[in-house]
Amino acid sequence: MNRTAPLITLLGVSLGALTLTGCGAGGPTAAGLASPPSSAPGLPTPQMPSTWSPAPATTAGAPAPATAPAASDSPAPASPTGKPLAGRTIVLDPGHNPGNVAHTTEINRQVDIGNGRKECDTTGTATDAGYTEADYSLDVSHRIRDLLKALGATVLLTQDGDHPWGPCITDRAAFGNAAHADAAISVHGDGGPASGSGFHVIMPAKVVAGKADTTAITAPSHRLGLLVRDSFHTVTGEPYADYIGDQGLDTRDDLGGLNLSGIPKVFIECGNMRNAGDAQRMTDPQWRQRAAQGIADAFTAFLTTTG
């Protein structure tokens, strides 16, 4: 299913001297955008770029192409009792980076997402009070990580406040591929119209173009998306977004983090940080814990059930 250009996420948010750009790197889909030629069909070969190494990297210096970032994190031994996720690997992708605002040149660099070109990364949005999406997404990711590790999972973050900027959306996808993770989620807060509220989950459209081929992940990502939508809604009570998507779900073909993923992956826009009510909730640590619980529950269901 292809949707046309999303209506949100291009709103710039002025925050003092900063300008924060909306998350999801929305805007027109690849139609009409230059699509670089590629002679390499199929999924991209995971490569760690020289400007960025995976968080759990064990070596410094030269990049190690195709080295799974999970290598340093030895798999948990099978422990059926109380550890339903033992042996499973989950990648959490905290959207944006608190340092992006100081590295606009780097993050504005155009990268190849298969069916077009997009900025390497964006700054993300923020509440009126100045709570940034980057801080929100990292905090919630930490909470998800703690919950999933308690269930035995190996949990890897694409960035953990340990990169000066980014990583680029292409590298965020490559990270999960290189880890051969069972599933991934990119955690965001939206920068929609202030009158709109609610959360939504973004699933990958089928994209076969250049470096992108989501054929193998669309179905499992859809299943993951439904589980995240239902669980997040149940645990947080947050309504489905009333300004985008359909019943809390959207499908997009213009997000590099999805286009280039070789593992089941979705995005969640946990709420609209430009909306006063959502902003209030997202600023509350107790609500963020529920948000994390809802997402962690969805991964548990995804990895322990079928169909």
Q: Which residues contact Zn ion (rule: CB under 5 A)? A: 23, 95, 124, 188
Least distance CB 101 / Zn ion (angstroms): 14
Determine contact, residues 272/248, Cβ cutoff 8 Å.
no
Provide, rounded to whole angstroms, the least separation between the CB of residue 111 and Zn ion. Answer: 16
- Cα–Cα dist 12/19, whole Å: 6
CB nearer to Zn ion: give 9 or 289.
9
Contact indicator for 274, 191 with CB cutoff of 8 Å: yes
Please name the residue that has the structure tokens 């100081």. Answer: 102
Active-site annotation holder among 119, 133, 238, 269: 269
Whether 269 sits among the annotated catalytic residues: the reply is yes
- The neighbouring-strand residues paired with 93 are 186
CB nearer to Zn ion: pick between 188 and 252: 188
Going by C-alpha positions, the residue among 28, 26, 45, 162 that lies closest to residue 94 is 162
State which residue, 113 or 153, has the beta carbon closest to Zn ion: 113
Residue 167's alpha-carbon distances to 2, 80, 107, 203, 271, in angstroms, are 27, 35, 8, 21, 23
Give the nearer residue to Zn ion in terms of CB position, either 151 or 202: 202
Minimal distance in Å, beta carbon 73 to Zn ion?
26
Direct distance between the N- and C-terminal alpha carbons of the chain, in angstroms, rounded to an integer: 20
The least CB distance from residue 219 to Zn ion, in Å, is: 25
Tell me phi and psi for residue 91, to 5 degrees.
Answer: -105, 130
Which residues are catalytically annotated? 269
